[in-house]
Amino acid sequence: MNTAFKLSLAGVIALALSACGQQQQAQTPAAASGTGAASAVAVEKSEIRIGTTPGDFADMVKEQIQPALEKQGYKVTLTEFPDYVTPNKALAESAIDINVFQHKPYLDGFKEEHKLDLVEVFQIPTAPLGIYAGKIAKLEEVKDGSTVAVPNDPSNFARALVMMDELGWIKLKDNIDPLKASKADIAENSKNIKLVEMEAANLPRSRQDVDFAVVNGNYAMSSGMKLTEALFQEPSFAYVNWSAVRTADKDSKWVKDVEAAYNSDEFKTYAKTKFAGYKYPAAWGEQGAAAAVAEASAASVAASVAASAAK
């Protein structure tokens, strides 16, 4: 989303625990297993350690959230993780205090699989997945045998299939898990769409060689593309990203202060200017809050049901 994170999880945790040693009297350690402790008591703190993926989420912290919180007297540190696994494990292990990088269906599935006591708190502006022009400039000009570049990682590949299903380019089987859709779930491909799978980071450069490209919002932005140039954006609000904290901390004052910073008028103005074309938090009134949260929850339930049926 572009700074490389060069420390291993073990290194991050070691550094964090070392830094925490001086605050031992003020903070309650997490369970050694990393699953969190139901009996843990939330503690207030003067230092907030935030974890994000590189790119837009990190920029939001550095350019807006960190200065806003430091004006209130907090010390804010940022760790950028290059993957989608380490941030949740680091949070559960108390190497960081809050992370900002994932949508609710992913968080729900991850914490269930790894037995982590984490919870979502508030949404953040999120770059949507989009279909962009390649050699063909308009969606309606799609032809038999059109080539479409798509991300090759399972999560984003599934989202690309769902988008093409919504466009009518393919038809997916009924009652599948939309978060795990694969080639095997394609029921019809009447337009003989040819999927060209590649690393998500290479999708912007692929546009000159294919008819269309499904590009992740962060890579579109980092390559100089504009989200508003997308021919079609993922309509679902299930993938608007959330912050996450350890469940014991969710009602802490420091968490409420971080949430307030992300929902402040100053941050809204900044986000709508710098991140035009993003999907914004339901709490901002950009779409029905209840509907957005319900959609995310429904996606998580669908994934859980499909996973149970597959066992």
Mean pLDDT of the region 98-115: 90
- Is residue 77 domain-shared with residue 183, that is, in the same domain? no
110 and 136 share one domain? no
pLDDT (0 to 100) of residue 171: 97
> 205 and 72, same structural domain?
no
- Ranges 5-19, 44-58, 74-88, 167-181: which has the least confidence: 5-19
pLDDT band at 217 (very low <50, low <70, confident <90, very high): confident
Q: Do β-strands 130-133 and 212-215 pair in parallel, antiparallel, or remain unpaired?
A: antiparallel
Determine the number of helices (DSSP H) and then strands (DSSP E) in the chain: 11, 12
Query: Could you tell me which residue, 18 or 83, shows the higher pLDDT?
Result: 83
Same domain, 213 and 256: no
Where is pLDDT greater, at 42 or 269?
269
The pLDDT value given to residue 212: 98
- Asked if residue 311 has pLDDT above 90, the reply is no
Q: What is the mean pLDDT of residues 97-112?
A: 90
pLDDT at 151 over 80: yes
Q: How far is CA 70 from the centre of its chain?
A: 25
Average pLDDT, the chain: 82
The CATH number covering residue 203 comes to: 3.40.190.10
Q: Is residue 256 part of a domain?
A: yes
pLDDT number for residue 43: 67
CA distance 124 to 242: 6
Query: Do residues 204 and 306 share a domain?
Result: yes
Total domain count for the chain? Answer: 2
Statement to judge: residues 302 and 275 lie in one domain: no
131: β partners = 214, 232
Average pLDDT over residues 270-280: 90
Provide the residue range defining the domain that includes 303.
130-236+298-310
With tokens 């608007």, the residue in question is 240
Q: Is the pLDDT of residue 288 over 60?
A: no
Distance CA 187, CA 264 (A): 46
14, amino acid identity? A
Query: Is 195 contained in some domain?
Result: yes
Confidence of residue 242 (pLDDT cuts 50, 70, 90): very high
Least confident segment among 98-112, 172-186, 291-305:
291-305
Is residue 196 domain-shared with residue 306, that is, in the same domain? Answer: yes
